[in-house]
Structure 1
Amino acid sequence: MRAGLRGWGGVGAMAAVCALVLGFACALLLPLAQSRADGSPGTGGPGLTRADQTADDKPCDNPAIKAHPEEQTLSPSSADGTTIDKIKAREGAKRKLIVGVDQNSYRWGYRNPNSGPKADLEGFDIDLVHRIAQDILGDPKAVQFKAIPTNQRIPAIQKGRVDMVVRTMTINCKRLADVAFSAPYFKTGQQVLAPKSSDIKGYDGTLAHKKICTAEGSTAFSQLDEDKRAGKLVASADLRTTVPNQLDCLVRLQLGEVDAVVTDGALAASQAAQDPTVELKGSPFTTEYYGVAMKSDADDLVRRVNQVLVDYRKDTTDGWQASYDRWLSATLDKSSAKSEPPPPKYLRKN
Structure 2
Amino acid sequence: MTTIARHLRARLKGWGGVGAMATACALALVFALALTCAGAPAGAPSRTTGQTVSHSARAQADEDCTAPEKQTLSPSDADGPTIEEIRNRRGEKRKLVVGVDQNSYRWGYRDPNSGKSGALEGFDIDLVHRIAEDILGDRDAVQFKAIPTDQRIPAIKAGRVDMVVRTMTITCARIEDVAFSAPYFRTGQQVLAPRSSPVEGYDETLADQEICTAAGSTAHAKLEADKEAGRLPASTDIRTTVPNQLDCLVRLQLGEVDAVVTDGALAASQAAQDPTVQLKGGAFTTEYYGVAMKKDADDLVRRVNRILVDFREDTTDGWQDAYTEWLSATLGDDSSRSRPPAPEYLRES
Same fold at TM > 0.5: yes
2:25 pairs with 1:12: no
Q: Which runs of 4+ in 1 moved over 4 A?
A: 16-21
Task: Quote the Cα distance in structure 2 between the aligned partners of 1:136 and 1:19.
Answer: 36
2:116 pairs with 1:106: no
Task: Quote the Cα distance in structure 2 between the aligned partners of 1:158 and 1:326.
Answer: 33
Q: Deviations 1:79-116 (Å, cap 9, x if unpaired)? A: 11000000000011110000000000000000011123
Q: Classify 1:99/1:348 alpha carbon distance in 2 versus 1 (closer, same or farther; 3 Å).
A: same
Structure 1 vs Structure 2 CA RMSD: 1.7
The match for 2:74 is 75
The match for 1:313 is 312
Query: What SS does the aligned partner of 2:219 have?
Result: helix
2:156 pairs with 1:149: no
The match for 1:289 is 288
The match for 2:230 is 231
The match for 1:278 is 277
The match for 1:61 is 63
The match for 2:163 is 164
CA contact (8 A) 2:29 2:247 kept: no
CA contact (8 A) 1:19 1:104 kept: no
Query: What SS does the aligned partner of 1:338 have?
Result: coil
Aligned-residue offset at 1:13 = 4.1
Task: Quote the Cα distance in structure 1 between the aligned partners of 2:132 and 2:116.
Answer: 24
Task: Quote the Cα distance in structure 2 between the aligned partners of 1:140 and 1:287.
Answer: 31
Task: Quote the Cα distance in structure 2 between the aligned partners of 1:299 and 1:198.
Answer: 47
Task: Quote the Cα distance in structure 2 between the aligned partners of 1:20 and 1:76.
Answer: 45
- The count of residues paired between Structure 1 and Structure 2 equals 312
2:260 pairs with 1:250: no
1:326-341 → structure 2 map (5 Å cutoff): 326-341=325-340
Aligned-residue offset at 1:282 = 0.1
Query: What SS does the aligned partner of 1:330 have?
Result: helix
2:131 pairs with 1:124: no
Aligned-residue offset at 1:61 = 3.0
Q: Classify 1:309/1:299 alpha carbon distance in 2 versus 1 (closer, same or farther; 3 Å).
A: same
Task: Quote the Cα distance in structure 1 between the aligned partners of 2:23 and 2:82.
Answer: 38
Letter in 1 for 2:104: S
Could you tell me the TM-score, scaled by structure 1's length?
0.86
Aligned-residue offset at 1:14 = 2.0
Task: Quote the Cα distance in structure 2 between the aligned partners of 1:130 and 1:17.
Answer: 30
Task: Quote the Cα distance in structure 2 between the aligned partners of 1:20 and 1:183.
Answer: 38
CA contact (8 A) 2:72 2:179 kept: yes
Could you tell me the TM-score, scaled by structure 2's length?
0.86
Q: Deviations 1:134-154 (Å, cap 9, x if unpaired)? A: 000000000000000000000
Aligned-residue offset at 1:5 = 2.0
Query: What SS does the aligned partner of 1:173 have?
Result: coil
Unaligned 5+ segments in structure 1 are: 22-57
The match for 1:54 is none
CA contact (8 A) 2:20 2:112 kept: no
Task: Quote the Cα distance in structure 1 between the aligned partners of 2:234 and 2:338.
Answer: 32
